[in-house]
């Protein structure tokens, strides 16, 4: 089988597994990927990673350290936009956390794709990667033509917006590559203007030290910084503000019917008074198979108490 025909089959199988869009990038990559790697170095040097030391993993700059002999990456997107609304007055949880843990979902499907590829090309080597792997996932997705990296740092697809979870299948097969996506943010600054903490310090640069998502998910301190606690706007697990205001997300978008991505009902009606009374065991039960299990019970209480205090009317 020729490489073009195999690439077409890989795309069909990936879509059968629920991925869309699907693209292919070649290794080594072009100039854009090198520019993205240089941008990562500047971001790290400025301290924008806060406590996320894993962002400095040297493998993130060199994909060949993740799979010896890698020649291609199959980049996939999983649409997590669901036509569901939160109850009025409920606390806010980022959309990516509404369904099952996307790391498990994407990795499981990518492994199925890898096993399928083995059946077509015996002896092929591959590795499945989600965003927990030290890979420049958005940059490689951009290189594979899935979309462009927006000014808020998220990948944007022309018809699906930025509500995409990303995964990559690395392989030692040499496959025909897709053209990188062309950027289309133009002069828009909606995401920069909307961020209540000024975390998008300049286009394409997010300072985690100012980011609500970082502090509600990664910050292990007993209390949130005052500048964050006073600007939560109800967000207690992640933050979607910069995506909610993006013009590419404000047009009609496809709604996922994937059962793994449907929201648990309580995410849409999270009430502070009730949740502050939940025990550690309650949180353990509610967060099973959730990407938001990373937030420990004490952190949930901290975040919820801060959001409730911010919303309380002044006496």
Per-residue CA distances from 52 to 133, 214, 227, 242 (Å): 13, 9, 20, 21
CB 70 within 8 A of CB 136: no
The answer to whether 131 is a known catalytic residue is yes
Q: Count CB atoms within 10 A of the CB of residue 219.
A: 21
Please state whether beta strands 126-129 and 164-171 pair in parallel, antiparallel, or not at all (unpaired). Answer: antiparallel
CA angle 190, 196, 198 (to 5 degrees): 80
- The token duo for 285 is 């039960």
User: What secondary structure does DSSP assign to 253-314, as a single string?
Assistant: -PPP--GGGSPPGGGGG--HHHHTT--HHHHHHHTTT-GGGGS-HHHHHHHHHHHHHHHSPP
Among candidate residues 20, 101, 131, 284, the one labeled active-site is: 131
Residues 6+ apart with CB under 8 A from 40: 55, 60, 61, 136
How far is 88 from 133, CA to CA, in rounded Å? 37
Residues 6+ apart with CB under 8 A from 5: none
How far is 146 from 61, CA to CA, in rounded Å? 20
CB 253 within 8 A of CB 81: yes
Per-residue CA distances from 137 to 189, 246, 305 (Å): 24, 21, 34
Catalytic positions, written as ranges = 131
């Amino acid at each position: 089988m020729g490489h073009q025909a195999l690439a077409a089959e890989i795309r069909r199988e990936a879509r059968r597994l629920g991925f869309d869009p699907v693209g292919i990038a070649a290794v080594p990559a072009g100039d854009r990927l090198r520019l993205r790697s240089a941008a990562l170095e500047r971001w790290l040097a400025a301290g924008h990673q806060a406590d996320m030391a894993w962002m400095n993993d040297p493998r993130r700059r060199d994909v060949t350290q993740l799979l010896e002999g890698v020649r291609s990456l199959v980049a996939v997107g999983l649409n997590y936009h669901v036509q569901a609304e939160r109850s009025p007055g409920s606390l806010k949880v980022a959309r990516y956390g509404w369904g099952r843990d996307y790391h498990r979902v994407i990795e499981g499907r990518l492994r199925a794709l890898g096993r399928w590829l083995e059946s077509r090309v015996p002896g092929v080597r591959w590795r499945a990667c989600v965003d927990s792997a030290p890979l420049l996932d958005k940059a490689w997705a951009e290189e594979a033509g899935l979309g462009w990296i927006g000014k808020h740092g998220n990948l944007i697809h022309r018809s699906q917006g930025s509500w995409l979870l990303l995964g990559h299948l690395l392989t030692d097969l040499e496959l025909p590559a897709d053209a990188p996506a062309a950027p289309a943010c133009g002069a828009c600054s909606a995401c920069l203007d909307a961020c209540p903490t000024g975390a998008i310090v300049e286009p394409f640069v997010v300072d985690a030290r100012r980011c609500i998502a970082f502090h509600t998910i990664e910050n292990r301190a007993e209390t949130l910084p005052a500048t964050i606690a006073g600007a939560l706007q109800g967000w207690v697990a992640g933050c979607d503000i910069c995506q909610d205001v993006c013009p590419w997300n404000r047009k009609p978008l496809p709604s996922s019917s994937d059962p793994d991505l449907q929201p648990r009902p309580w995410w849409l009606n999270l009430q502070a008074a009730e949740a502050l009374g939940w025990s550690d065991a309650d949180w353990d039960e509610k967060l099973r198979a959730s990407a938001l299990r990373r937030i420990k019970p004490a952190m949930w209480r901290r975040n919820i108490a801060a959001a409730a205090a911010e919303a309380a009317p002044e006496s």
